[in-house]
Protein backbone atom coordinates (compact mmCIF):
# COMPACT_ATOMS: atom_id res chain seq x y z
CA UNK A 1 0.00 0.00 0.00
CA UNK A 2 1.32 3.40 -0.95
CA UNK A 3 0.84 6.35 1.39
CA UNK A 4 0.74 10.11 1.32
CA UNK A 5 2.25 12.73 3.62
CA UNK A 6 -0.49 12.58 6.25
CA UNK A 7 -0.17 8.79 6.30
CA UNK A 8 3.59 9.19 6.79
CA UNK A 9 3.10 11.46 9.79
CA UNK A 10 0.69 8.99 11.37
CA UNK A 11 2.93 5.95 10.75
CA UNK A 12 6.08 7.64 12.00
CA UNK A 13 4.51 9.24 15.07
CA UNK A 14 3.05 5.91 16.18
CA UNK A 15 6.43 4.20 15.71
CA UNK A 16 8.23 6.93 17.66
CA UNK A 17 5.77 6.63 20.55
CA UNK A 18 6.16 2.84 20.67
CA UNK A 19 9.96 3.06 20.50
CA UNK A 20 10.04 5.65 23.28
CA UNK A 21 7.75 3.52 25.44
CA UNK A 22 9.67 0.27 24.81
CA UNK A 23 13.27 1.45 24.91
CA UNK A 24 12.85 4.59 27.03
CA UNK A 25 16.23 6.15 27.88
CA UNK A 26 18.18 3.55 25.86
CA UNK A 27 17.45 5.42 22.61
CA UNK A 28 20.48 7.41 21.48
CA UNK A 29 19.03 8.35 18.09
CA UNK A 30 16.21 7.47 15.72
CA UNK A 31 17.07 8.52 12.19
CA UNK A 32 14.56 8.68 9.34
CA UNK A 33 16.34 8.55 6.00
CA UNK A 34 15.62 7.69 2.37
CA UNK A 35 13.18 9.20 -0.10
CA UNK A 36 10.30 9.47 2.36
CA UNK A 37 12.48 11.49 4.74
CA UNK A 38 13.03 14.09 2.05
CA UNK A 39 9.49 13.83 0.65
CA UNK A 40 10.78 12.98 -2.79
CA UNK A 41 7.88 12.12 -5.05
CA UNK A 42 4.20 12.46 -4.43
CA UNK A 43 3.70 9.00 -2.95
CA UNK A 44 5.57 7.35 -0.12
CA UNK A 45 6.38 3.69 -0.68
CA UNK A 46 8.42 2.88 2.40
CA UNK A 47 10.02 4.27 5.54
CA UNK A 48 13.71 3.72 6.30
CA UNK A 49 14.66 4.10 9.95
CA UNK A 50 17.90 3.58 11.86
CA UNK A 51 17.56 3.06 15.61
CA UNK A 52 20.72 3.62 17.64
CA UNK A 53 20.49 2.12 21.11
CA UNK A 54 22.98 2.51 23.94
CA UNK A 55 23.86 -1.19 24.21
CA UNK A 56 22.66 -4.67 23.26
CA UNK A 57 19.94 -6.45 25.23
CA UNK A 58 18.76 -9.97 24.33
CA UNK A 59 15.10 -8.99 23.75
CA UNK A 60 15.77 -6.06 21.40
CA UNK A 61 14.81 -7.88 18.20
CA UNK A 62 11.65 -9.34 19.71
CA UNK A 63 10.67 -5.90 21.00
CA UNK A 64 11.18 -4.38 17.55
CA UNK A 65 9.01 -7.08 15.97
CA UNK A 66 6.16 -6.03 18.28
CA UNK A 67 6.66 -2.35 17.44
CA UNK A 68 6.98 -2.61 13.66
CA UNK A 69 3.81 -4.07 12.19
CA UNK A 70 3.78 -2.10 8.96
CA UNK A 71 5.59 -3.95 6.15
CA UNK A 72 6.55 -0.61 4.60
CA UNK A 73 8.86 0.13 7.54
CA UNK A 74 12.49 -0.96 7.30
CA UNK A 75 14.07 -0.47 10.72
CA UNK A 76 17.71 -1.24 11.36
CA UNK A 77 19.12 -1.45 14.89
CA UNK A 78 22.67 -0.43 15.70
CA UNK A 79 24.37 -0.09 19.06
CA UNK A 80 26.40 2.87 20.28
CA UNK A 81 29.24 0.62 21.49
CA UNK A 82 29.62 -0.94 18.02
CA UNK A 83 29.59 2.43 16.27
CA UNK A 84 32.20 3.82 18.66
CA UNK A 85 34.44 0.74 18.19
CA UNK A 86 34.57 1.39 14.45
CA UNK A 87 34.90 5.12 15.01
CA UNK A 88 32.40 7.72 13.94
CA UNK A 89 34.42 8.57 10.83
CA UNK A 90 34.36 4.90 9.76
CA UNK A 91 30.70 4.16 10.42
CA UNK A 92 28.62 3.30 7.38
CA UNK A 93 25.15 1.84 7.26
CA UNK A 94 25.42 -1.78 6.10
CA UNK A 95 28.98 -2.36 7.37
3-state helix vs strand vs coil in the chain, percent to 5: 40, 25, 35
For residues 7 and 3, what is the distance between their CA atoms, to the nearest angstrom?
6
What pLDDT does 7 receive? 77
Give residue-wise pLDDT tens across range 32-75: 887 777 766 566 678 889 999 999 999 999 999 988 887 888 89
Give residue-wise pLDDT tens across range 73-88: 889 999 998 888 887 7
Residue pair 12/6 in contact (Cβ under 8 Å)? The answer is no
What pLDDT does 1 receive? 42
Amino acid sequence: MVGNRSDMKFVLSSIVKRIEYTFNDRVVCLLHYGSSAFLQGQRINDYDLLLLLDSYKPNDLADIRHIIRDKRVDLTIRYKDDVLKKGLENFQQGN
